[in-house]
Amino acid sequence: MSAWQAELLATAFLPDQFPDATVPEIAFLGRSNVGKSTLLNALMGRRLAHVSGTPGKTSSINFFDVRHARPFRLVDLPGYGFASRCQKERARWQKLIESYLADRESLLLSIQLVDFRHGLLENDRHLQEWTNRIGLPVQLVFTKVDKISRGRRKSVLAAYHKAGFFSLTEPLLVSGTDRTGIEELRSFIEGIVAESRPQ
Ligand SMILES: Nc1nc2c(ncn2[C@@H]2O[C@H](COP(=O)(O)OP(=O)(O)O)[C@@H](O)[C@H]2O)c(=O)[nH]1
Ligand SMILES: [Mg+2]
C-alpha cells in the first residue's frame, strides 16, 4: 500500500464555511502539539498540514480530500488544551469543534490522538466523556511512540488500559517521525470507510 493522494479542499473558521457533506469524513483531534499535523502528513505522504513548534496556532478546521476508489476526507480539527489562548478565542474555537463533531452528518469516526508518553490527561478525558455522551465513535491512537523503547510499550499500554478509556478498537500506536504504525492506521481508516453506507 502506498501513500494516499490527497489535497486541501477547504479551510473553515466558521461552520458556514464547511464544505458540503457529500463524502465520508474521519476527524482527527487531540491536544495541541500531540503530533497531529505530522501524522496527517505521514498518512497523506505530503506536507499538507502545517507542523509547528509553537502549540495552539491553528484555529481553523481543514478538510483534505483523499482520492480513492471510495473517496473520503481527513478533517484536521484545531488542537485543544492550549491554556494561554484568550477566553473569547477559546469559546469560538470550542463552538467550532463542537458544532462540527455534534452535527456533521458525513462524520464516520473521530480519531483522538494522545501522546504515548503522557497517556490521557484531564482534557482528553473530558473530550472522551463528551463524545461518548453524544454517541460519536472514537478511535484512540497513541502518538510519538518512538519516544518509548519497544520493550516498554506493552507495559505502558497495559497501564493505560488499567486507567481506562473509550476506544472503538484496541488503540493503535504510531509515530509520524519513524512511521511506526502508519500503514496500519491507513488500513484501519480504509476499513472504516469501506464498511460505511454509501452517501
Ligand atoms: N519524536 C516525535 N516527535 C514528533 C512526532 N510527531 C510530531 N512530533 C513533534 O512534535 C511537535 C508538534 O508536532 P505537530 O505535528 O505540529 O503537532 P500538532 O500541534 O498536534 O499538529 C513538532 O516539534 C514535531 O516535530 C513523533 O511521532 N515523534
Ligand atoms: Mg497542527
Determine whether the shortest distance from the Cβ of 58 to ligand 1 is under 6 A: no
Surrounding residues of ion ligand 2, Cβ less than 5 A: 36-37
Determine whether the shortest distance from the Cβ of 41 to ligand 1 is under 6 A: no
Angstrom distance (rounded) from CA 181 to CA 8:
24
Q: Could you tell me the residue range of the domain that residue 110 belongs to? A: 5-195
pLDDT at 199: 63
Number of compact structural domains in the chain: 1
Contact between 94 and 35 under an 8 Å Cβ cutoff? The reply is no
Ligand nearest to the CA of residue 182, numbered in listed order: 1
Contact between 145 and 113 under an 8 Å Cβ cutoff? The reply is no
pLDDT at 27: 98
Angstrom distance (rounded) from CA 131 to CA 8:
26
Q: Which of 90, 80, 89 lies closest to 27 in space, CA to CA? A: 80
Determine whether the shortest distance from the Cβ of 62 to ligand 1 is under 6 A: no
Percent of the chain with pLDDT strictly greater than 90: 76
Ligand nearest to the CA of residue 52, numbered in listed order: 1
Angstrom distance (rounded) from CA 170 to CA 161:
10
DSSP secondary structure code for residue 118 in this structure? T
pLDDT of 55 above 60: no
Ligand 2 centroid distance, CA of 197 (Å): 30
Q: What is the mean pLDDT of the chain?
A: 91
Determine whether the shortest distance from the Cβ of 38 to ligand 1 is under 6 A: yes
* CATH number, position 161: 3.40.50.300
Determine whether the shortest distance from the Cβ of 112 to ligand 1 is under 6 A: no
